[in-house]
Structure 1
Amino acid sequence: MERKELFQLLENAFGHIPTDGQRNVMTHLAAFLLSNKPNPFYLLKGYAGTGKTSLVSALVKVLPLLRMRFILLAPTGRAAKVLTSYSGFIAHTIHRKIYMQTQTADGSHRIVLSQNKSKRTLFVVDEASMIADTTSDGGLFGGRNLLDDLIQYVSEGEDCRILMIGDHAQLPPVGLDISPALNLQMLKTSYPITAATFELTEVMRQALDSGILFNATRLREKLAANQAEMPLLNLGSFNDITKVDGYELEELMQDTFGSRDFTKAVVVCRSNKKANMFNQAIRQRILGMEGEISSGDLLMAVKNNYYWLESNEGGGFIANGDILEITRIKRFEEMYGFNFADADVKLIDYPEHPAFEVKLILETITTDGPALPEPVFRQLSSAIEEDYLEEPSRRKRYAMMKKNPYFNALQVKFAYALTCHKTQGGQWPVVFLEAGINKEEQLDKAYLRWLYTAVTRATEKLYLMNFIDAFFEQAQAETTKEP
């Protein structure tokens, strides 16, 4: 097939008249898909509303005509669900596709790279801004360099290539200043790939009818111009973005969360401390939940866990960021000076996966940090180690501890309210967004990026909570005071 013919097929599948930028991408994609160069790699960057999703939808319709398979990937289960919904095809998390769990001689678990048996396959990777190139244990894929592993996995297949998609205005991975998977120069320097890129900047006309996307575009423009100054938002006559006060807020949350359809809404906060406060308020005042945790509670795993899933089940581990629902509480207990619960849970973003039993450590739920603080975990480890002191070898003692269910208790937080980093890659019809700052002098470029990422989590309705009037263009700020 010739490039011109492939371009025409992409344009026909697109469904409406493309912008100049989208036409450029189609030209690039035609060359990329037909390339015979080693390890073809295309980086598609674009802001919210610029048509990245429409291009992917067109692309997957055309690939069968090239006799090319495709695999859709995203960093989290929630992001994979979004990719599935707009592409019409099942998407997987990166870790469930490229990793497998093995057991070492001492019985401990280890994550290793799977073998890529794919042939003539395009790997479409969405939400690439979240993909780190570090190996810190606190990341989504603790102890592994996800970017390295992804590129290595794809390159080991026969005639495989990567289409990486992301928005560099979004938050980079935790602890990094930039998103390495969206940095073409770094990618070309670090990996043996044949790479090209394009960035979509023109917002599609129909997207500007949305107050959410209109304001996301304003924020992105301020970010690009390095203008960290008020006002940031314009409510205008849009009906999908609203500033709410305390009285309205409780009523709206009652209507939204009272239905217990937790796929519908989320509260987005800037700190774990604030998220904890909202989680407790929603549980107690709206859902009527009593006790530390209850059957029906929605949880998020905040640290990778390799113990509770069999190696052949769902990728073999529970990933940091996975959402779980408690289907049954079996018992509570206190051991080693800590509180635990045995519960049956199901993975919300993997409905085909049956419920399974876990042991939860409850101290994580209320901690103001992202997970159990390291000194606290060391305290638990020391208490557990005392049970194995008859074994003189410290190495063997540690191997025995790694089989202990309390040592492997799942670290979780409630998932009604989350920090922006934890919501990244996901979308909800309704988002309640807490301002995160209450003084104009707290505004900086990092906050602009945070706010842009948070605003673009909402697809239908965005409620703004605790935003001072300085955030809004004055005429709009005045009108939002009306009930």
Structure 2
Amino acid sequence: MRTPIIPILNDTVEINLEIQLTASQQHVLSMANQWIAVEDCSAFAITGAENSGKKTVVRHIAQVLAEHGKSLVYLSPNARIANKYKVFGFPDVQSIYSWLYASRPSKLEKDKACYDVSVTLPDVKREVLVFLDAHLLGDDKFETETTRYGSGFLFQDMISALQDNGQLLPKMLLVGDSFQLTRGRIQRSLLSGEVFREKNILFNAYSLSEQISSGELSDYQLQLVSALSNKSFVRLPEVGGNDITRVISGEQTDEIGRALVAWPKHTAFLCAQNMDAFKINRGIRARYLNTRNMHSLVVGDIVDIHNRTVGLQDDVIDTKWVNSGTFGRVISVASDIETKTVLLKGREAGTVLHFAVATIEFESMGIVTVRYIPEYLSAETPALSADQLIALNIIAREEATEKLQDQKYQLEIAKESLPEAEYKQLSYEYQKQLADHIMSSSYFNAARLRFAYAMTVHRAQGYSGWTQLYVDTSCCHDNANYSTDSYFRWLYTATCCSNQKIGLLKYPNLSPISNASWHCVPKKIGIIAVKQRLYLEPSNLVDELEQLPVGFDTSNSIYAKLYTTIQSLLVDSDWKIQDVIQGRSYQQVYELVAGDGEVVTVQFSYNGKGEITIQSVRSSADVFKETVLSLLSTKPHVQSSSLEEAIRELTNYLNQIGWQAVLIEEKSQYKAYVTLVGSRGYIKLD
């Protein structure tokens, strides 16, 4: 099959579709074909973990849509993720915010620059909206310290805009990872479908359940995904290998530190909370940049910007805006720090803000000079106080008023000399100019910079290009309990930030018995008699009856199970069943014969619970007795899966210190007796 050239958004992208698809990929594509064929405004979601082939399926769907005369409009949660998908070969991916909202704010409201909805409505008959990384899109209210988009409710704004003037809704394709952390509540995530159903929009979701690649990292992630799917948080995957390793605190310190301060940024350290990241950033800078001052930048610092900020340029036309989430390396730092004090109404003391200037080389942006706020940089958590935010607005307003003082003077003259209508128009234009100056002010948009050697998993989410990650796994973002959906989801999300190597620090021990309570006071001391248990193989009673010899007693179903179990145990040996003596109360006697005619008699006993014990073995020589006992050795069949796992964990643990299980007696789905033998005798555990 030749590689097709698929038209998308008046551009072309080469897509290699010669990859062998998994069964789940084929099923999702089949469902997608049906979805495409129906002319409606439904939403179709494709979910799947890392390495499940989501991008491959989207490329196939793009081909099918192209054959139907449709093209795809690719939308992502932000500009950074849009650039990530462009690297993957997806054309013209744009941030959903730049697609849905105006490029410039229209007004100031409650000290926030407000961006109005301003979208070119898609051609419903020709275009399909594709939401990439849709697990990071939701309908919880979102606004920053200085910015609000529309109403703050992304999905509500989008649907209202698409329905404008009776416009029909386009088809919508959502692609995302339902196992990662979401932005806001999981229930309000676009992938959950609830927000679509509330708008009476047909929503169907299909999951890619198979991995298309293997390796240490993929195998590790698969175990986390399995736990999240089954809601079973009793075991963390084993760690050991080359790609995903356990890092001991205090070891590899210099290796990690040098990698974190290197540029371009290929290594990151991820934490659960901002305070943890702050401590690591402080330590890294002290050791490798020779500075303990967290209040200002030094040359070589690597930073992450938390807001969209404006560059300081001599020519306004050449002004550059740097997007949130962009990493940069400090090239130079101005020595002067500007101090501004604002006395707010009702406050006894003034609110003080400092402003510094640095020239930074930003990824994919080049070199930009920005004004930044040292208080934000040095805070343990990334936030400004309410008073500081108000003061920023006042500072920017004063700056704008000074720039427009001539216009303000003309407006005051016009108030006395012009008709009221003309004056109101001039006043409106002045207020608009004033708001524009405030919203583009380098003070109002002063960079909220953070040191970027360590950061939270939430902040790192969406990155995939780091070649080496170090993760502090001692807790997750909202609790220190490892046996939770939150912890497993958080840890899995962290692993998705790199496709190469991950080092785990403070990796917890979590297994079904890692938090067991051990009560070591003996309940009873005495002789423990152990007889070998024969565990019956689960099978179908109809099949068992067909294997029985003529005249076999079937009054008790256990007879047939015992016969077929012994027959299966001997099938590959030189032994076979010669005779069965039945009729004894709670006993069955089997004569087994070898190829050379040697006969061994085995007496089995059973109880009302269906437990089979090998009571005795009679033979002419011990060697034949041992051979038969070896052939009749069976593994326990525990009915309760939870109990079976607990027993397995217990015996594996005790095996390491010299104890071997010789008898397991299941009493209920919550209780079992385990008898073990060691160098000093037997012990029976309840």
Q: TM-score range by the shorter chain?
A: 0.7 to 0.9
C-alpha separation in 2, matches of 1:155 and 1:311: 37
- Are 2:379 and 1:367 equivalent residues in the alignment? yes
* One-letter amino acid of the counterpart of residue 215, structure 1: Y
Question: In the alignment, is the contact (CA less than 8 A) between 1:141 and 1:304 conserved in 2?
Answer: no
Q: Alpha-carbon deviation of 1:423?
A: 1.1
Per the normalisation by structure 2, the TM-score is 0.57
Pairwise CA distance, 1:211: 2.0
- Superposition RMSD on alpha carbons, in Å? 4.2
CA distance in 2, matches of 1:139, 1:181: 24
Find out whether 1:250 has 2:253 as its counterpart: yes
Distance 1:17 1:407, change over 3 A: closer
Q: Which runs of 5+ in 2 are unaligned?
A: 1-5, 7-14, 341-351, 409-430, 515-648, 654-686
Q: How does 1:458-477 map to 2 (within 5 A)?
A: 458-470=498-510
Matched residue type, 2:269: V
Partners of 2:145 and 2:229 lie apart in 1 by: 27
| Paired residue type of 1:149 | D
- Where 1:113 maps in the other structure, the secondary structure is coil
- In structure 1, C-alpha distance between the alignment counterparts of 2:83 and 2:439, rounded to whole Å: 33
- Alignment CA distance shift 1:17-1:153 (3 Å): farther
Partner of 1:52: 54
Question: Are positions 1:429 and 2:467 aligned together?
Answer: yes
- d(CA) in 2 for partners of 1:410 and 1:357? 10
- List per-residue Cα deviations over 1:318-357 (Å, max 9, x = no partner): 5543434444434541312333212344542xx2x45444
Deviation at 1:118, TM superposition (A): 4.3
Partner of 1:338: 353
Letter in 2 for 1:362: P
- How much does 1:165 deviate? 0.9
Query: 1:140 deviation in Å?
Result: 11
* Among candidates 451, 455, 458, match of residue 491 of structure 2: 451
Tell me the SS of whatever aligns to 2:56.
helix
Tell me the equivalent position of 1:188: 197
Return the alpha-carbon distance in structure 2 between the equivalents of residues 253 and 360 of structure 1. 28
1: CA distance between counterparts of 2:337 and 2:38? 60
1:429-473 deviation line (CA, Å, top 9, x unaligned)? 211111142997564321221111112222000100122344799
Query: Alpha carbons of 1:194 and 1:242: their partners in 2 closer, same or farther (altered >3 Å)?
Result: same
Considering only CA atoms, is the larger Rg found in Structure 1 or Structure 2?
A: 2
Match of 2:684 in 1: none
Task: Report the Cα offset of residue 243 of structure 1.
Answer: 0.6
1:211 is matched with 216
Question: 1-side partners of 2:197 and 2:128: how far apart?
Answer: 19
- Kindly indicate whether residue 74 of structure 2 is the aligned counterpart of residue 72 of structure 1: yes
Residue 408 of structure 1 corresponds to 445
Structure 1 window deviating more from structure 2 (127-136 vs 114-123): it is: 114-123
Matched, 1:20 2:23: yes
Alpha-carbon distance in structure 2 between the residues aligned to 1:96 and 1:328: 31
- Residue 161 of structure 1: which of 153, 171, 178 is its match? 171
- Give me the whole-angstrom Cα distance separating, in 1, the residues matched to 2:289 and 2:32: 49
Match of 1:260? 263
Aligned counterpart, 1:481: none
Whole-Å separation in 1 of the counterparts to 2:310 and 2:38: 39
> Which amino acid is 1:147 matched to?
F
In the TM superposition, residue 269 of structure 1 has moved relative to its aligned partner by: 0.8
Q: Percent identity?
A: 20
1:281-318 Cα distance to aligned partner (Å, 9 max, x none): 3334345568521344332232455898999999x965
With over 3 angstroms needed to count, the CA separation of the structure-2 counterparts of 1:323 and 1:371, relative to structure 1, is farther
- Higher helix content, 1 or 2: 1
Distance 1:222 1:58 in 2: 30
CA distance in 1: counterparts of 2:486 and 2:318, whole angstroms: 39
CA deviations over 1:233-254 (Å, ceiling 9, x no partner): 2125x42100112343313314
Whether the aligned pair in 2 keeps the contact of 1:432 and 1:465 (CA below 8 Å) is yes
Alpha-carbon distance in structure 2 between the residues aligned to 1:404 and 1:77 = 22
Residue 172 of structure 1 contacts residue 178 of structure 1 at CA under 8 Å; is this kept in 2?
no
Alignment of 1:47-446 (within 5 A): 47-60=49-62, 63-102=65-104, 104=106, 109-116=113-120, 118-119=122-123, 120-138=126-144, 142-143=148-149, 144-152=152-160, 160-174=170-184, 176-190=185-199, 193-204=201-212, 206-207=213-214, 210-229=215-234, 231-236=235-240, 238-254=241-257, 256-257=259-260, 259-262=262-265, 264-286=266-288, 292-304=296-308, 318-336=322-340, 337-345=352-360, 347-348=362-363, 351=364, 353=365, 355-378=367-390, 405-427=442-464, 428-437=466-475, 441=481, 443-446=483-486
Distance 2:312 2:73 in 1: 27
Q: Assess if the C-alpha contact under 8 Å between 2:102 and 2:119 holds in 1.
A: no
Give the secondary structure class of the aligned counterpart of 1:202.
Answer: coil
Amino acid at match of 2:70: M
**Structure 1: gaps of 5 or more residues:** 1-5, 7-11, 477-483
C-alpha change, 1:377 and 1:59, in structure 2 (3 Å) is: same
Task: Give the distance between the partners of 2:491 and 2:391, measured in 1 at CA.
Answer: 37
- The separation in 1 between residues aligned to 2:335 and 2:394, in whole angstroms, is 24
